Amino acid sequence: MIAWVHERTGLDRVWKALFERHVPEARGPAAWLYTLGSASLFVFLVQALTGALLAMSYAPTPDHAYDSVRYITGQVALGGFIRGLHHWGASFMVVLAVLHMLRVYFMGAYKYPREITWMTGVCLLLLVMGFSFTGDLLPWDQKAYWATAVGTNIAGQTPVIGGVVSRVLKGGSEMGAATLTRFYAFHVLVLPALLAMVVLVHLFLVVWHGISELPERRLQDGDPQGP
């Protein structure tokens, strides 16, 4: 059965390209740095799964949003655990994405021929930050409301397009029901679709170009030879 599926879908070749590709040899702490990209993808999948489970009981309206969050936390089976995974996973995903970008930068993995891979990675980081920003409002408590008010006001200070950006985020001139609905739509529809597309492009480029080798110091004339 497995051979039949592989012959007609090519899943075995996809598996080998993604999970059995060559990883540069590294020893010590440097070896763990190559796991940051895969760890970020794993946390994203966890976020997608827990987010889908939370959405089944969440009500994106000002009258019911806060009560639905309390219902999820206190009455839904494993609701508090799932919400905790989603909440802390969001912070963990930002940390992993930043560390992954720092690894790529300091190891020079953004250089030829991987410039577009780097650009898609920057887009992914921005999308991850967008997830954090839009998700903060969904509990619809005092902390979420005023934190979002500050964020939208900051966005409104952008030169030229600030007013338009602020109105798009708020759904009008003031925060209200339209703001919550819009943030929920961004969080569960727009951003996941964009992230999935960019992730596919990013993974394709990683497989196409391979993983960059560890940088090596090139000896110049007059430098002492190493052992």
Backbone angles phi, psi at 77, to 5 degrees: -60, 125
Yes or no: say if 137 and 145 are a contact pair by the CB < 8 Å rule. Answer: yes
Q: Report pLDDT digits (tens) over 134-178.
A: 999 999 999 999 999 999 999 999 999 999 999 999 988 889 899
pLDDT tier, 124 (very low <50, low <70, confident <90, very high otherwise): very high
* Residue 215 reports pLDDT greater than 90: no
Is domain 33-209 given the CATH code 1.25.40.10 in the classification? Answer: no
pLDDT of residue 212: 82
pLDDT tier, 217 (very low <50, low <70, confident <90, very high otherwise): low
pTM: 0.86
Please tell me the distance from the alpha carbon of residue 128 to that of residue 197, in angstroms, as a whole number: 13
User: Which sequence spans correspond to the domains of the chain?
Assistant: 33-209
Please tell me the distance from the alpha carbon of residue 28 to that of residue 134, in angstroms, as a whole number: 38
